[in-house]
A and B are shown apart, each in its own frame.
Chain A
C-alpha cells in the first residue's frame, strides 16, 4: 500500500492513489474475502457504493444497508437491483439486498443475525447522545461476529492544508489514535469482543508518526453466539423503514431452477434432434429411400459438439430415434449432459422438475418432438 501514496511535499496537497474511500472499501472487501460472511450490514451506507461492491462477493447472501438520510440512499439505490443478466442466468447463491431508513441509536430486529457489520466513516457523524447508544445497539443488540469501524485520525489533519477544524462540515468530532483506541478497547471489553487496530492512507515519508489517515478497528466477538442472548432482549417492533428490497433470482428458488432445467432440457433435446434429422436427411439424399420408417442411429460426429456430446454415456438400447414424424430423445441421454446433470443432481429431480413442462413419451422416459409441421412455410 505504500506505493499507493503520492505526495507533493511542497504544495501540501495530499492525494491518495487509489482514492482513500476506495482504499477503505477495498479493506472491507478484503475482509469479506478472508472471513466469508454470509450476512453483511453496512451502517451509514450513504449512496450504497460499498453495498454495490459487496454484492459481487459470492459468499454473501444477505446484504443490508442503513442510513439516516433516505434521499442519499435513493439516489443510486437502483444499482443494487438485479441486472438483466441475473435473470438470464440465475446464480447458484441466493442474495437479498435491503435498505433501511433509521438510526444506529435505535434497535430493530431486522439487524439481527449478521456476520459482519461495517461502520465506515460513520461514528464521527453521530451526535453525542447517539454515540452513547451506538455500542449497545451494534455490539450488545446486533452482536455480529465481526464489526469494522473506521474514522478519521485527527493527527493526520495538519497535513491537509485548509483543514481548520474537521475534514467534513458534518463531522461532530475527529479523534486521535488514543481517543479512538481507548473508546474501542472499552467497548470491546464491555461486550466481550477483541479488537485490532489498523488503517488506510499511509502518511508521507518522514511523517510516519502521525499514523494512517483513516484509522480502523476490527472487532471480533469472543463468545459464540447463543441464540438465547440474541432473542431474549429482542424487541418485538421494528423501527426502521424499508426503503428498498431486491431479491436476486437464484437457483435455490424452485421457480428459477425449474425454468433453467426446462430450458436446458429442451435446448439439449433440440441439438440432438437436429443432428438426428440431419443424419436422416443425408441418408435420404444418398439412398433416396423413404426415411419415415427407418431408425437412424444417433452418432454425434466428433467435430460437432466435442464438449457435451463427446462425453455421452448412453446405453445401446436407449438411443434417440426417429419414428415417422416423431423424434424420441430419452431422458437418460439428456441427463448425461453435464449442464443438465449439474443443475438437477439426480435423475429423479430431473423428472420432477420437467413434469408437465416438456412433452414426454407415454411412459415418460423420453422427450418427444413432432417434426411434421416444422419447416412448412419455409
Chain B
C-alpha cells in the first residue's frame, strides 16, 4: 500500500471549512513570541506548491523561495496540554517488545545561536521582492552570508550593533533608497522558527548535491528510471523534514519517487483527440487535465491546471510588466527560444497560490506545448498494468529502502561543499538510522457465530480459516434479480450455480434469482430496474459486460436514491475464470450479505456503551469541486452494524454543518437500536490534510460538542476525537536477525518519533506482500474519555479487523474505510445524498 508521497499533492486534500479572517499581520510585533496556540493557517486554505515552513507565531512562515506559506507540519498546535490524563505519559503497555529501526536521523549538534528577527523597510517603498533583496544584500558586510529574507522579514543568526540600523543602497537607475532594519524579535535556539531555519539550510544542501526540487521534495535527475510502455519516467528522490520529536530534534527522510511523463500537455491532447468523439473532446480534456500538476519547459516551476481556455491561443497577447503588449508565441521565442508550433492550441490557466506582499497575483497562462505532465491521472491509477510496472520501481522492500535512505546521508558526508556548509552552521547528523523498541500487541481472535478462529498474525488474513463458516447474521436471498446481457447468459448461470454451492454453509438461504436479460445499454438496464424491482426485492445483481462507468453509475444512482434497494454489480470478465470462480462466488456472497444488512464476524470489544464514528472525505476535483464526507457510526456493542450517511457539500457550505446533522441522526438511530444513548463517542477522523489540524481543533471539535449538547440537557457523553493519517513519511523496519523486515501487524509505536505536543501514536495494522508497510498515524486531539492510552491503541487496532470487504486487517479502523467507500461511491457515481432508508446497511461496499 505504499504511496508515492510526492505525486498529486492536491488530490486527497479535504475540503477546508472556511477560516474566519485571521489577525492581520503586524510585521513589527515587538519582542514577544506569541503563544503557540495562536498559529493560524493560510488564509486561502489551499495547499501551496513548493516548500513552505511556518514559524511558530502568528501565521508567519518563511521559506527559502520567499513568501509565506501554510504550515504543513501543523507546528505549534499543542493538543496534548488540554488532555489531562496523558500529561505524564501517553504510552501504552501491552504487547511484546520488538526492535525497530526507523527513517530518522538525530541531529548530533546544532547551532547554539539565537535567531534574530528584523523588519526591513524601504524608503521610497520598493515593490518587487527581488529588488528588495538585491538592495538589502548590497550590505552583505553588515548582514553576513547567512541569512533568510522573505522581502520584509529578515532572519539573522547574529545581532546587529544597533536595534535600528539605517543603510543606503542604490538601484540600477541610480536611485537612492534608505533601508531601515529594525530588530523585532529574538528567538531562542529552541523556538520553532529556528527549526524551520534548519529545514531551509537542509534544503540548500540538497540543492548543492545537484538534486532537483519538484514540489516539496528533491529528486536526482541523473539516473532516471524510464518506463517506456507508459511514457513514464521515475526519478528517485527524498522527502526531508527536521522537527522536534519526542526526545530530540531529528531529520526524517524517506525515499520518494516522482513520476514524470515524457509527453507534453499538447501531445496528450492530441492522443485524447483520437480517442474520443469530437463533441466530447473538450470535456474529456477538462476531466483528464484539470487538477494535474504540470512542469514548464523553460523554468523549474510546477503549476496546477485549474482551467483550459478554449477561446485563447498562443497568438493572444498579454501585457508585460513594462506595459508593452506581446503575443505568447513571440514572448517564448524571444525570452526562452521556445518555438510554439501549434498556433491553435488552447491555453491552460493556473490560479496562482502565492501571495506577493499584499497583492494576489492574477492567473498564470500556460501553453500546453510547453508544459509536461507530472504525476498520474485517475485513469492511469486505475490501469492495473501500469501500476504494476510502476510498483516494480517504487515499492522497495525494507532492506533496499533503508539502503536508499542511507544514500542521502552518504551523499552529504562525501560532499566537501556540503560538509563545509554544515560546519559553518554548526549542524551535524547522526550517520545511523534511529533504533528503538516498539511493541507488538496481541493478535485478535475472530468470532463468528459461536466459532473462534485463530489465524497467522503475520499475514493478517483469515479468509482461509473462516471459509464456509456460518455468519453471525445471514440475510436470505428470497427474492432477487439477476440481470445480464445475452452474451453473458452462461456467465450469469454459472455464477448462480456457484452461489448455490457456497451459500448453504454460510447459513444464507437462497432462492433462484429472477433472471432478466437486457440489451447492453444504460436505458435498457434502467427500464428493467423500473419494471422489475418490487418492495420485496432483497438485492439486484447486475453482470456488466464492460467496465464502462456510465452504466454502473446509472444503476447505482437509481438504486441508491430513487429506488433504495441494495445492488451488486460485477464485470463479466471477473466471473469468467474457472479456477477462481468459487473463491469469487464466496466473496460475492459475503458482500451481498453485508449490503442487505447481514453481519460476518466480530472481535472481542470489552468497552461498553460506546459509539465509534468514522469520517472520511472525497473531493471531486472535476465537476464543480464538490466535496463529500462519509459518516459511519456503530449501532451495536459488537460493532457489526453501522449507520452510514454522507454529506454532499454545496457551494459555500461548511462540511462540519453536515457532519453535525449526521451525528444527530446517528445518535437517534443508536437510541432506536439500544434504547439508550452511548456514554462514549469515539470519532476517527480521516481525510485531514497537512496543515489542517488547526481547523479541526478549533472548529470541528467545538461543533461536535455543540451537537452533543443539543441532544439533551442531561446528556453528557465522553468524547474522543482521533485524527487518522495514512500518508506519513515515517517507516519502521523490524530487526530480525541481521536483516530488516516489515514490522508485524499490531506493531505500536508511541515513543521517539511521536511529537511531544500531541497525544499520538503509530500502528502498523496491515501486512503487505511487497514493498514497505506504511504505518498509520493516530493523533488524539480531543479526549474527555479518560481511557488509558493502551486501551485507545488496542481499540483502534481491533477496529482495523472489522472491515467486511476484506477478511483481514486493514490500514485504518473499519469505520474510516466504510466512510471512504461511501464518500467515493457518492462522489464518483451518485453525486447526491443516497436515500436514508439504506442507512442501516453497508449498501456501498
Q: Which residues of A contact B (CB under 8 A)?
A: 13-21, 56-58, 71, 78, 81-85, 87-89, 160-163, 167-168, 259, 262-267, 270, 303-307, 374-378
Complex CA–CA separation, A378 to B221 (angstroms): 32
Complex CA–CA separation, A263 to B229 (angstroms): 7
Complex CA–CA separation, A338 to B584 (angstroms): 47
Report chain B residues within 8 Å CB of A270.
229
Task: List B residues 268-294 near A (Cβ within 8 Å).
Answer: 270, 274
Task: List B residues 160-184 near A (Cβ within 8 Å).
Answer: 170, 172-176
Contact A85 B231 (CB under 8 A): no
Contact A263 B231 (CB under 8 A): yes
Complex CA–CA separation, A68 to B229 (angstroms): 49
Task: List B residues 356-412 near A (Cβ within 8 Å).
Answer: 372, 384-385
Contact A375 B176 (CB under 8 A): no
Contact B322 A17 (CB under 8 A): yes
Partner of B174 from A78, A167, A267, A374 at Cβ < 8 Å: A167
Report chain A residues within 8 Å CB of B336.
56
Report chain B residues within 8 Å CB of A19.
172-173
Contact A162 B176 (CB under 8 A): yes
Contact A85 B229 (CB under 8 A): no
Residues A267 and B229 in contact in the complex (CB < 8 Å), given A84-B212, A168-B170? yes
Report chain A residues within 8 Å CB of B173.
13-16, 19-20
Distance of B245 from chain A, by nearest CB (Å): 30
Report chain B residues within 8 Å CB of A17.
322-323
Cross-chain pairs A/B with CB under 8 angstroms, 11 sampled? A20-B173, A21-B172, A71-B145, A82-B221, A83-B299, A84-B295, A85-B296, A87-B221, A88-B233, A303-B274, A376-B384
Residues A84 and B221 in contact in the complex (CB < 8 Å), given A21-B172, A168-B170? yes
**Interface assignment of B621: CB less than 8 Å from any CB of chain A:** no
Report chain B residues within 8 Å CB of A58.
337
**Interface assignment of B297: CB less than 8 Å from any CB of chain A:** yes
Task: List B residues 312-334 near A (Cβ within 8 Å).
Answer: 322-323
Report chain A residues within 8 Å CB of B235.
84
Closest to B214 in A: A84
Complex CA–CA separation, A243 to B547 (angstroms): 57
Distance of B150 from chain A, by nearest CB (Å): 16
Contact A56 B298 (CB under 8 A): yes
Distance of A337 from chain B, by nearest CB (Å): 14
Contact A266 B228 (CB under 8 A): yes
Residues A85 and B174 in contact in the complex (CB < 8 Å), given A78-B207, A263-B226? no
Closest to A169 in B: B170
Task: List B residues 658-702 near A (Cβ within 8 Å).
Answer: none
Contact A85 B221 (CB under 8 A): no
Apart from the given pairs A83-B300, A263-B231, A375-B384, 12 other A-B contacts in the complex at a CB distance below 8 Å: A81-B212, A83-B298, A83-B299, A160-B174, A161-B174, A162-B176, A163-B174, A167-B174, A266-B229, A270-B229, A304-B274, A375-B573
Distance of B738 from chain A, by nearest CB (Å): 35
Scoring B residues 459 to 473 as 1 if CB is less than 8 Å from chain A, else 0, what string do you get?
000000000000000
Report chain A residues within 8 Å CB of B261.
88
Report chain A residues within 8 Å CB of B300.
83-84
Q: Which residues of B contact A (CB under 8 A)?
A: 140, 145, 170, 172-176, 207, 210, 212, 214, 219, 221, 224, 226, 228-229, 231, 233, 235, 260-262, 270, 274, 295-300, 322-323, 335-338, 372, 384-385, 547, 573
Distance of B325 from chain A, by nearest CB (Å): 14
Complex CA–CA separation, A307 to B271 (angstroms): 11
Partner of A57 from B214, B274, B322, B337 at Cβ < 8 Å: B337
Contact A262 B385 (CB under 8 A): no
Report chain A residues within 8 Å CB of B231.
263, 267
Contact B228 A263 (CB under 8 A): yes
Distance of A263 from chain B, by nearest CB (Å): 4
Closest to A305 in B: B274
Residues A262 and B214 in contact in the complex (CB < 8 Å), given A13-B173, A88-B262? no
Report chain A residues within 8 Å CB of B145.
71
Closest to A246 in B: B210
Report chain A residues within 8 Å CB of B323.
17
Contact B172 A20 (CB under 8 A): yes
Contact B260 A84 (CB under 8 A): yes
Complex CA–CA separation, A78 to B274 (angstroms): 40
Report chain B residues within 8 Å CB of A378.
384, 547, 573
Residues A375 and B262 in contact in the complex (CB < 8 Å), given A15-B173, A162-B176, A163-B174? no
Complex CA–CA separation, A260 to B262 (angstroms): 10
Report chain A residues within 8 Å CB of B233.
87-88
Partner of A14 from B174, B298, B547, B573 at Cβ < 8 Å: B174
Contact B228 A13 (CB under 8 A): no
Report chain B residues within 8 Å CB of A307.
270
Distance of A168 from chain B, by nearest CB (Å): 7
Distance of B8 from chain A, by nearest CB (Å): 16
Of B174, B212, B219, B336, chain A has the most CB atoms within 10 Å of the CB of: B174
Partner of A374 from B175, B295, B385 at Cβ < 8 Å: B385
Report chain B residues within 8 Å CB of A377.
384
Complex CA–CA separation, A17 to B229 (angstroms): 50
Contact B297 A85 (CB under 8 A): yes
Report chain B residues within 8 Å CB of A87.
221, 224, 233
Complex CA–CA separation, A15 to B322 (angstroms): 12
Complex CA–CA separation, A263 to B226 (angstroms): 8
Distance of B261 from chain A, by nearest CB (Å): 8
Report chain B residues within 8 Å CB of A162.
174, 176
Complex CA–CA separation, A89 to B260 (angstroms): 11
Complex CA–CA separation, A19 to B228 (angstroms): 46
Residues A18 and B384 in contact in the complex (CB < 8 Å), given A87-B224, A266-B229? no
Distance of A207 from chain B, by nearest CB (Å): 16
Complex CA–CA separation, A78 to B208 (angstroms): 8
Distance of A122 from chain B, by nearest CB (Å): 16
Complex CA–CA separation, A269 to B711 (angstroms): 65
Complex CA–CA separation, A18 to B326 (angstroms): 14
Contact A88 B176 (CB under 8 A): no
Contact B224 A85 (CB under 8 A): no
Of A14, A20, A84, chain B has the most CB atoms within 10 Å of the CB of: A84
Contact A56 B337 (CB under 8 A): yes
Closest to B374 in A: A84
Report chain A residues within 8 Å CB of B174.
14, 160-163, 167
Distance of B154 from chain A, by nearest CB (Å): 16
Complex CA–CA separation, A303 to B179 (angstroms): 65
Contact A259 B176 (CB under 8 A): no
Closest to A259 in B: B226
Report chain B residues within 8 Å CB of A267.
228-229, 231
Report chain B residues within 8 Å CB of A84.
212, 214, 219, 221, 235, 260, 295, 300, 372
Complex CA–CA separation, A201 to B260 (angstroms): 44
Closest to A14 in B: B173
Complex CA–CA separation, A376 to B579 (angstroms): 13
Report chain B residues within 8 Å CB of A168.
170
Report chain B residues within 8 Å CB of A15.
173
Complex CA–CA separation, A18 to B320 (angstroms): 11
Distance of A53 from chain B, by nearest CB (Å): 8
Complex CA–CA separation, A265 to B274 (angstroms): 20
Report chain B residues within 8 Å CB of A376.
384
Complex CA–CA separation, A371 to B337 (angstroms): 43
Of A21, A83, A267, chain B has the most CB atoms within 10 Å of the CB of: A83
Complex CA–CA separation, A224 to B260 (angstroms): 47
Distance of B12 from chain A, by nearest CB (Å): 24
Distance of A166 from chain B, by nearest CB (Å): 11
Complex CA–CA separation, A168 to B138 (angstroms): 11
Complex CA–CA separation, A148 to B260 (angstroms): 41
Of A57, A58, A306, A378, chain B has the most CB atoms within 10 Å of the CB of: A378
Complex CA–CA separation, A301 to B219 (angstroms): 41
Report chain A residues within 8 Å CB of B210.
81
Complex CA–CA separation, A261 to B221 (angstroms): 19
8 closest A-B pairs by beta carbon, nearest first, are: A263-B228, A266-B228, A56-B337, A160-B174, A87-B221, A85-B297, A56-B336, A88-B262
Closest to A3 in B: B324
Closest to A306 in B: B274
